[in-house]
Chains A and B, each alone.
Chain A
Amino acid sequence: MFELSFIWAGIIAFAILTYVILDGFDLGIGILFPFAAGEREKATMMNSIAPIWDGNETWLVMGGGGLFAVFPLAYAIIMPALYMPIILMLLALIFRGVAFEYRWRTKRWKPVWDLAFFGGSLVAAFMQGIALGALVQGIEVAERAYAGGWWDWLSGFSILTGCAVVVGYALLGATWLVLKTEGSLQSQMQVYATRLAAATLGFIGLISILTPFQDPVYFQRWFNLPGSLLSVLMPGAVLAAAWALFRGLKAGKDAQPFLAALSLFILCFIGIGISFYPNIAPPGLTIAEAAAPDESLRFALVGTVILVPMILGYTAYAYWVFRGKIDPEEGYH
Chain B
Amino acid sequence: MFDTFTAETLARMQFAFTVSFHIIFPAFSIGLASYLAVLNGLWLRTRDETYLTLFTYWKKIFAVAFGMGVVSGIVMSYQFGTNWSVFSDRTGPILGPLMAYEVLSAFFLEAGFLGIMLFGRERVGEKLHMFATAMVAFGTLMSATWILSVNSWMQTPAGYGINELGQFVPEDWWQIVFNPSFPYRLVHMVLAAYLTTALVVGGVGGLHLLRNRTDGPARRMFSMAMWMLVVVAPLQILAGDQHGLNTLEHQPAKVMAMEGHYESHPHGAPLILFGIPNAAERRIDYAIEIPNLSSLILKHSWNAPLDGLDTIPDDEEPPVAIVFWSFRVMVGLGFAMLGLGAWSLWRRLRGRLYEDRWLHRSAIAMGPMGFVAVLAGWITTEVGRQPFTVYGLLRTSDSLAPVAAPAVAASLLAFIIVYFFIFGAGTFYLLRMMNKPPATPHLGLKDGPIRTAGITPVAQTNPDGLPGE
Q: Which residues does chain A contribute within 8 Å of B78, judged by CB atoms?
A: 64, 79, 86, 90
Q: Which residues does chain A contribute within 8 Å of B94, judged by CB atoms?
A: 296
Q: How far is the CB of B83 from the nearest CB of chain A, in Å?
A: 8
- Give the residue of A68, A84, A303 whose beta carbon is less than 8 angstroms from that of B101: A303
Which residues 228-282 of B sit at the A interface, judged by CB distance below 8 A?
none
B96 within 8 A of A: yes
- Give the residue of A62, A67, A102, A150 whose beta carbon is less than 8 angstroms from that of B104: A62
Q: Which residues does chain A contribute within 8 Å of B81, judged by CB atoms?
A: 64, 67-68, 75-76, 78-80, 86
Name 26 A/B residue pairs within 8 A (Cβ), A-sorted. Answer: A39-B459, A51-B119, A58-B107, A62-B104, A66-B103, A72-B88, A72-B91, A75-B92, A76-B401, A86-B82, A87-B411, A95-B422, A97-B70, A105-B464, A107-B462, A108-B469, A144-B89, A150-B407, A296-B170, A299-B170, A314-B108, A315-B108, A321-B116, A330-B119, A331-B119, A331-B451
B70 touches A54 (CB 8 A): yes
A322 touches B459 (CB 8 A): no
A72 touches B92 (CB 8 A): yes
B82 touches A83 (CB 8 A): yes
**Apart from A54-B111, A97-B70, A292-B93, what 6 extra A-B contacts exist at CB < 8 Å?**
A55-B114, A62-B100, A65-B100, A75-B88, A76-B85, A109-B425
B112 touches A106 (CB 8 A): no
A68 touches B80 (CB 8 A): yes
Q: Which residues does chain A contribute within 8 Å of B352, judged by CB atoms?
A: none
Q: Which residues does chain B contribute within 8 Å of A76, judged by CB atoms?
A: 81, 85-86, 88-89, 92, 401
Instruction: Give the interface SS of chain A, mostly helix, strand, loop or mixed.
Output: helix
Q: How far is the CB of A127 from the nearest CB of chain B, in Å?
A: 12
- Give the residue of B96, B105, B111, B415 whose beta carbon is less than 8 angstroms from that of A296: B96
1/0 per residue, CB under 8 A from B, across A253-273: the answer is 000000000000000000000
How far, in whole Å, are A108 and B466 apart by their CA atoms in the complex?
11
Q: Which residues does chain A contribute within 8 Å of B447, judged by CB atoms?
A: 332
A292 touches B96 (CB 8 A): yes
Q: How far is the CB of B113 from the nearest CB of chain A, in Å?
A: 7
Q: Which residues does chain B contribute within 8 Å of A146, judged by CB atoms?
A: 85, 401-402
B402 touches A145 (CB 8 A): yes
Would A105 and B104 be within 8 Å (CB), given that A38-B459, A144-B89, A295-B169 are in contact? no
B97 touches A296 (CB 8 A): yes
Stretch at the interface among A167-175, A196-204, A238-246, A304-312: A304-312
Q: Which residues does chain B contribute within 8 Å of A318, judged by CB atoms?
A: 112-113, 115-116
A98 touches B85 (CB 8 A): no
Q: How far is the CB of B104 from the nearest CB of chain A, in Å?
A: 4
How far, in whole Å, are A43 and B460 apart by their CA atoms in the complex?
12
B321 within 8 A of A: no
How far, in whole Å, are A70 and B455 apart by their CA atoms in the complex?
53
1/0 per residue, CB under 8 A from B, across A72-112: the answer is 11011111100110110011011101101110111111000
Q: Which residues does chain A contribute within 8 Å of B108, judged by CB atoms?
A: 55, 58, 62, 307, 311, 314-315
Would A55 and B118 be within 8 Å (CB), given that A75-B92, A80-B403 are in contact? no
Q: Which residues does chain A contribute within 8 Å of B95, judged by CB atoms?
A: 68
Q: Which residues does chain B contribute within 8 Å of A54, judged by CB atoms?
A: 67, 70, 110-111, 114-115
B319 within 8 A of A: no
Which of chain B's residues has its CB closest to A51's CB?
Answer: B115
Q: How far is the CB of A125 from the nearest CB of chain B, in Å?
A: 15
A293 touches B169 (CB 8 A): yes
A237 within 8 A of B: no
Which residues 102-147 of A sit at the B interface, judged by CB distance below 8 A?
102, 104-109, 144-147
**Which residues of chain B have a CB within 8 Å of any CB of chain A?**
59-60, 63-64, 67-68, 70-75, 77-78, 80-82, 85-86, 88-89, 91-97, 99-105, 107-116, 118-120, 123-124, 163, 165, 167, 169-171, 173, 401-404, 407, 411, 414-415, 418, 422, 425-426, 429, 432-433, 446-448, 450-454, 457-459, 462-464, 466, 468-469
How far, in whole Å, are A322 and B81 apart by their CA atoms in the complex?
36
Q: How far is the CB of B142 from the nearest CB of chain A, in Å?
A: 11
Cβ-Cβ contact count across A and B, 8 Å cutoff: 278
A315 touches B446 (CB 8 A): no
B63 touches A69 (CB 8 A): no
A69 touches B97 (CB 8 A): yes
Q: Which residues does chain B contribute within 8 Å of A77, judged by CB atoms?
A: 85
B458 touches A79 (CB 8 A): no
Would A333 and B169 be within 8 Å (CB), given that A69-B97, A77-B85 are in contact? no
How far, in whole Å, are A295 and B452 apart by their CA atoms in the complex?
55
How far, in whole Å, are A144 and B418 apart by their CA atoms in the complex?
33
Which of chain B's residues has its CB closest to A333's CB?
Answer: B463
How far, in whole Å, are A176 and B88 apart by their CA atoms in the complex?
38
A232 within 8 A of B: no
A206 within 8 A of B: no
How far, in whole Å, are A330 and B456 apart by their CA atoms in the complex?
11
B72 touches A94 (CB 8 A): yes
Would A65 and B464 be within 8 Å (CB), given that A150-B404, A307-B104 are in contact? no
Would A64 and B82 be within 8 Å (CB), given that A95-B418, A105-B432, A144-B165 are in contact? no
Q: Which residues does chain A contribute within 8 Å of B104, judged by CB atoms?
A: 62, 303-304, 307-308, 311
Q: How far is the CB of B95 from the nearest CB of chain A, in Å?
A: 8
B446 touches A330 (CB 8 A): yes
Q: Which residues does chain A contribute within 8 Å of B102, judged by CB atoms?
A: 65
Which of chain A's residues has its CB closest to B170's CB?
Answer: A295
How far, in whole Å, are A75 and B402 apart by their CA atoms in the complex?
13
Which of chain B's residues has its CB closest to A105's CB?
Answer: B429
Q: Which residues does chain B contribute within 8 Å of A3, judged by CB atoms?
A: none
- Give the residue of A79, A93, A311 whose beta carbon is less than 8 angstroms from that of B71: A93
A84 touches B407 (CB 8 A): yes
How far, in whole Å, are A193 and B429 apart by their CA atoms in the complex?
36
Would A104 and B464 be within 8 Å (CB), given that A72-B88, A79-B78, A83-B403 are in contact? yes
A328 touches B71 (CB 8 A): no
Which of chain A's residues has its CB closest to B86's CB?
Answer: A76
How far, in whole Å, are A105 and B119 apart by their CA atoms in the complex?
17
A233 within 8 A of B: no
How far, in whole Å, are A330 and B458 apart by their CA atoms in the complex?
10
Q: How far is the CB of A11 from the nearest CB of chain B, in Å?
A: 10
How far, in whole Å, are A95 and B167 apart by their CA atoms in the complex?
36
B450 touches A333 (CB 8 A): yes
How far, in whole Å, are A296 and B104 apart by their CA atoms in the complex?
16
Query: What 3 pairs between A and B have smallest CB-CB spacing?
Result: A72-B92, A79-B81, A51-B115
Q: Which residues does chain B contribute within 8 Å of A79, judged by CB atoms?
A: 78, 80-82, 85, 88, 401
A52 within 8 A of B: yes
Which of chain A's residues has its CB closest to B14's CB?
Answer: A87
B451 touches A145 (CB 8 A): no
Which of chain A's residues has its CB closest to B176's CB?
Answer: A299
1/0 per residue, CB under 8 A from B, across A33-50: the answer is 000001110010000001
